[in-house]
Amino acid sequence: MSKSTYSTNKNYNRYSSRYSNQSYYVSPLEKLDRLTNKYQSKKVLENKKYEELVQEGKCDIFQISTSNYRYYHIHRETSIDVLNNLIEYAMNTTHYTLDTECQLQDPPKLSTAALIQTEFVYKNHLSILILIETMHLPVEHSRTFDKVKTLCRTIFSDNHIIYSWGDIKDELSKFYQYNLFDRNDIHQINDKNIQQKFKEWFHENHPSSSHVQRKAQETYSLQMAIYLAFNQWLDKRMTLANWGCELDPALYTITISQEYIKKKNQIIENEEEYRRLMIIYALNDCLAVTKLIS
């Protein structure tokens, strides 16, 4: 049974608004696919190409067994005990993989920084991953907020190595607004841009490959790198998902208008599946980078 809840009323919040001003129900995945086709049609075709290779038996799906890691949602409802344990882990961890996600806004508004994914990387132990839902943080200066802030600043200690795909300092600068860390915290980290290192490795080891990006400014996507290195498909369908939607099933409430009450079960199932796929996507973006450096 899902931990999520639902209600029916005439005051529609952000979850129900997608169902109100239309004559028929459109699932969140359908809406996402339409959005992606509109704004990232080339990436849709690229993702489809890899999916077809899987269907033809020419490559595998990227997946890391859940027995190899555990993960935690970090938001306003996260317990102090969980945060204390994570801070202790961070104090004894020196290597991390980071990625971020933003909530797309209607132009001309800029996207909103929404999620920080962090993997605590260990050689001989289970990885720990945290999903910091920055649009759903505790009240600033509350005890819980201060613990989340301590966790972030511990991760960004100057003796810690941060792996990423791209410029993580630039990505993290979008999150200064939440006051979990500042410019000084970020500029002291020892960041390793695996995107650039992969390019160097691939050119050195596969100089005659048709996939070689020869121009200096050209880079490899994480999806392509995983394919070239491991012959696996890293699904990027959820790139433009609603990253501010409260990922943790224990956190969100789905409000359904009377117009769609007969579709209540379908709507709840679709919302839960949407978030499940988002969580897998968010975790995989860290796990994929870590696999490349292993």
pLDDT in tens, 75-115: 999 999 999 999 999 999 999 999 999 999 887 788 999 99
Instruction: Report the distance separating Cα 114 and Cα 251, nearest Å.
Output: 15
Q: Would you say how long the chain is, in residues? A: 294
Strands 232-233 and 127-133: unpaired
**Is 11's pLDDT higher than 50?**
no
Over residues 192-207, the mean pLDDT reads: 95
pLDDT in tens, 34-63: 999 999 999 999 999 999 999 999 999 999
Q: How confident is the model at residue 154 (pLDDT cuts 50, 70, 90)?
A: very high
Burial (Cβ within 10 Å: 0-12, 13-18, ≥19) of residue 230:
middle
Question: Average pLDDT over the chain, rounded to whole?
Answer: 91
